[in-house]
Amino acid sequence: MQIPNFPECHHPLLKSLHHYSDQELLTLFQRHPDAGQYFTAIFCRYSPIVYTLIRHSARSPVQADYLFAITWRHIYHELGGLDLHQSSAAGSEVMNLQSWIINITAVCINRADLPPVESIHYSLQAAPPPLWCYIERSLDQLPPVQRLMVLMAQTFHWSETRISAYLQAEGEMISPAEVKQQLQAGYQQLEANLPEDIRAIYLEGQNRSLIGAEPVPSES
């Protein structure tokens, strides 16, 4: 089994965090919610363990990548309120970040209801889990109709004409030309909403664009 390579783990910004302990990274993540580097550093530290556990339980590499992304999305949302000292007090053994992540991974594996390969629209190479988590957060900041247009265009590859027809059927009188304008504005705002360090790690100096990244798995 080959564990995916994540070039971002060698970014100078993340390499400068190597000396921090797990608890320090967790504290920094919780204290600085508008910074993405601390979660990405935790991801880089523990992605090999998480992927190894998941790959052994998934039937195909595509499903493994999908479950890997879903698991890290769950970890991202849970980390904000995680108190390892409280978790240790509630259990019979000392809880550290590594054991907590392994436990969360096991829960996600056991609860996973994986869709067929052909219905999965997620690409691990196009949108690594940290980037995807922050893209999802950025999407939530867009106006609802604009967010819907971006999802239709990126996840389902709908044309401006088809998006316009769908919205008009829902009572939104928007022409294909207006859809195109809204999509361009949405992509610009989507990138602007990302934390500055996430843009530096994933977008600057790399041949990656948010357009075409297909950041949202099929269940979203």
Please count the other Cβ atoms lying within 10 Å of the Cβ belonging to residue 81. 8
Domain boundary pick from 65, 97, 119: 119
Segments forming the whole domain that contains residue 193: 129-202
Which of 4, 71, 9, 3 is CA-nearest to residue 202? 9
Q: Is residue 99 part of a domain?
A: yes
Per-residue model confidence (pLDDT) at position 88: 56
Per-residue model confidence (pLDDT) at position 220: 39
Per-residue model confidence (pLDDT) at position 94: 64
* 11 and 104 both lie in a single domain: yes
Q: Is residue 215 part of a domain?
A: no
Q: Is residue 162 part of a domain?
A: yes
* 108 and 195 both lie in a single domain: no
DSSP per position, 83-137: -HHHHHHHSSS---HHHHHHHHHHHHHHH--PPPGGG----TTTS-HHHHHHHHH
- Structural domain count, the chain: 2
Instruction: Tell me which DSSP letter residue 2 carries.
Output: P
* 78 and 102 both lie in a single domain: yes
* 61 and 163 both lie in a single domain: no
* 74 and 170 both lie in a single domain: no
Per-residue pLDDT of the chain (220 residues; tens, 9 = 90+): 688 999 999 999 999 999 999 999 999 999 999 999 999 999 999 999 999 999 988 888 999 999 999 999 999 999 999 998 876 555 556 689 999 999 999 999 999 888 888 888 788 888 899 999 999 999 999 999 999 999 999 888 899 999 999 999 999 999 999 999 999 999 999 999 999 999 999 998 665 656 545 544 444 3
- The CATH number of the domain holding residue 137 is 1.10.10
Q: Is residue 124 part of a domain?
A: no
* 29 and 89 both lie in a single domain: yes
- The CATH number of the domain holding residue 57 is 1.10.1740
Please say whether the beta carbons of 68 and 50 come within 8 A. Answer: yes
* 96 and 24 both lie in a single domain: yes
Per-residue model confidence (pLDDT) at position 91: 54
Q: Is residue 209 part of a domain?
A: no
Q: Give CA torsion, residues 1, 216, 162, 140, to 10 deg.
A: -170
Q: Is residue 36 part of a domain?
A: yes
Per-residue model confidence (pLDDT) at position 219: 46
For residue 155, what are its two tokens? 């996840």
